Amino acid sequence: MSHPHPDLGPPPALPDGGLRIVALGGLGEIGRNMAVFEYGGRLLIVDCGVLFPEPDQPGIDLILPDFEYIRDRLDDVEALVLTHAHEDHIGAVPYLLRERRDIPLIGSKLTLALIEAKLTEHRIQPTKTEVVEGERHRFGPFDCEFLAVNHSIPDALAVAIRTPAGIVLHTGDFRMDQLPSDGRLTDLGGFARLGTEGVDLLMSDSTNAEVPGFVTSEREIGPVIDEVIRTSEQRVIVASFASHVHRIQQVMDAAAKHGRKVALVGRSMVRNMGVARDLGYLKVPPELIVDSRDIEEWPPEDVVLVCTGSQGEPMAALSRMANRDHPIRVAQGDTVLLASSLVPGNETAVNKVINGLTRWGARVVHKGNAKVHVSGHAAAGELLYVLNLTRPSNFMPVHGEWRHLRAHAKLAALTGVPDDHIVIAEDGVVVDLVDGRARIVGAVHAGYVYVDGSSVGEITDTSLKDRRILGDEGFISVVVVVDSNTGKLMGGPEIHARGSGIDPAQFEQFIPQIQKALEEKAADGVMDTQEIRRAVRRTVGRWVSDTYRRRPMIIPVVLEV
């Protein structure tokens, strides 16, 4: 079982007839899914998604894959295949198209419609090719066959990539719901046919590799949602992903059945559901939808609100309602339904929202106390089924944190894939498929690119470290005036502090220590302002640490006269 090594160097040249695979995101994390395939000097990209920030990344809006590996080769990109329209698979597309606007986008009808709506906001008109399951299309040396897979959004696809190096089956995100609400099954027959033809490398969704058995059918959720809406005495507020068409359909059906109106809250929710309705993926009963701005005119018992915020995102509608920072006020007797799974790492944020809503008197129904969501990702039993159907010569788990990738690798070994044919990679690790064997051959840089407001890539890990220090410990600024010729102290020090928790009066007692340190530097003939700043920082830092056991950011300012 091959695995990454911290000392991996740059990869060698790709051998003739070999296929190279480099994941720029999605390995060791839930999000940023992006894989680059290279054959004969040409590139094919599968997915281009974002990762959402964690609490220790303050101020960050989105995290993108690093395009540096392909930046000088964008003209070699034949196409960008999008397996489905979740943000962790399409969210970074606008940022990639800023660098080359005519990269052909390949995807299903709904996927392309949702990404086109997103690109409109970025003033980008994409070049696109719509595909359906069962079709084969050639993009340069890449012969791509598309297969239907069931997921928590309609129109998801797997892609089989054929080159002279062999067949790679990339499942995308999938599950094997045998009674899907839209009747669209995962194409197990197609998987089996590919297995008979010979899958040289299987790249398969690992998110639920630790979960035993099979995922519950989507149809079992409908009656629970119906019961929640039927028994609620006042408003029902449903929080879901803005792309979960199946779940919104179930909510609308239940609302219509019980005589309630539905209001969509949030720009992304309104946009996505509008696209899904126009394309026929969302069936909306007549006169069911009302404008959220008019919602207060309706009796609470006649209303269902559908909004974003099921993951505790700070700026999403539900979080703002919990914080009393939204025009819609949660009131005693309201019911809030969190109709989505919990993305790993979001537990604290979601619990904070639940507590905030409960504080205002709402009853909160979530996955922990009711069956209101099923995962869109295959559990271990389904993953074993696919491994046995496809019988891959080589296996590479994708889409998951490290524990998911390891668990999926163990499943592959149980089905008979030899250990030395199982490749566990991480972002940036280069895997070559040559002569029927997949091997790790090197690594390229694949770091985080942070989006902060309108800036892309300007925030670094050092900047984030500074933000964390400022948030946790505050800062102390020290202003001193020195003689430019002698380095002697001419004025100050003047000390200002914010968020440090230190009484300003205490600084008065400490000023003589700073003066003494600077006098010693001047006596040693030190006139360099950088060295004087370092002396101030060391002196203040040592005093604060010894006295208060704290480590605020210290900002020395040296003025020369």
**Rounded Cα gap, residues 471 and 55, in angstroms:** 11
Residue 59, marked binder: yes
Q: Is 244 annotated as a binding residue?
A: yes
Give strand pairing partners of 157.
148
In the 8-state DSSP scheme, what is residue 361?
Answer: T
- Judge whether 246 is annotated as a binding position: no
Question: Considering 170, 246, 377, 404, which one is annotated as catalytic?
Answer: 377
404-442 residues labelled b (16+ CB within 10 A) or e (exposed): bbbbbbebbbebebeeebbbbbbbbbbbbbbeebbebbb
The span from the CA of 142 to the CA of 38, in Å, is 9
Q: Residue 374 annotated as binding?
A: yes
Show the tokens assigned to 72: 């000088």
Which one of the listed residues 177, 205, 334, 427 is annotated catalytic?
Answer: 205
* Inter-residue contact 239 to 307 (CB < 8 Å): yes
Contacts of residue 310, defined as CB under 8 A and 6 or more positions apart, other chains included, come to 239, 240, 241, 318, 338, 339, 340, 350
Nearest residue to 22 (alpha-carbon basis) of 413, 423, 460: 423
23 marked among binding-site residues: no
Consult the annotation and say whether 76 binds a ligand: no
61 is known to lie in a ligand binding site: yes
- SS3 annotation, 13-71: CCCCCCEEEEEEECECECCCCEEEEEECCEEEEECCCCECCCCCCCCCCEEECCCHHHH
The annotation status of 331 as a binding-site residue, yes or no, is: no
484 is in an annotated binding site: no
How far, in Å, CA of 250 to CA of 235, rounded?
17
243 is in an annotated binding site: yes
d(CA 265, CA 271): 10
Exposure string over 218-248, b if 16+ CB within 10 A, otherwise e:
beebbebbbebbeebebbbbbbbbbbbbbbb
Nearest to 239 by CA among 137, 104, 366, 52: 366
- 205 given a catalytic annotation: yes
Scanning the structure block, which residue is given the tokens 């040592």? 542
Per-residue tokens: 142: 């890449």
DSSP state of 234: S
Q: Specify whether 445 is catalytic.
A: no
* 496 assigned to a ligand binding site: no
Q: Return d(Cα 251, Cα 372) in angstroms, integer.
A: 11
Determine if residue 452 is labeled as part of a ligand binding site.
yes
546 is in an annotated binding site: no
Name all contacts of 552-555 with Cβ < 8 Å and 24+ positions apart: 552/469, 552/473, 552/474, 552/475, 552/476, 552/497, 552/499, 552/500, 552/502, 553/466, 553/469, 553/470, 553/473, 553/474, 553/475, 553/476, 554/475, 554/476, 554/477, 554/478, 555/475, 555/476, 555/477, 555/478
Q: Are 309 and 319 in contact (CB under 8 A)?
A: yes
In the chain, the amino acid numbered 299 is P
Closest by CA to 501, choosing from 472, 477, 465, 542, is 472
Confirm or deny that 16 is annotated as ligand binding.
no
Summarize the annotated binding site for Zn(2+) as residue ranges: 84, 86, 88-89, 151, 173, 399
Q: What is the set of active-site residues?
A: 205, 377
Summarize the annotated binding site for substrate as residue ranges: 242-244, 373-377
Summarize the annotated binding site as residue ranges: 59, 61, 84, 86, 88-89, 151, 173, 242-244, 373-377, 399, 452
Summarize the annotated binding site for Ca(2+) as residue ranges: 59, 61, 452
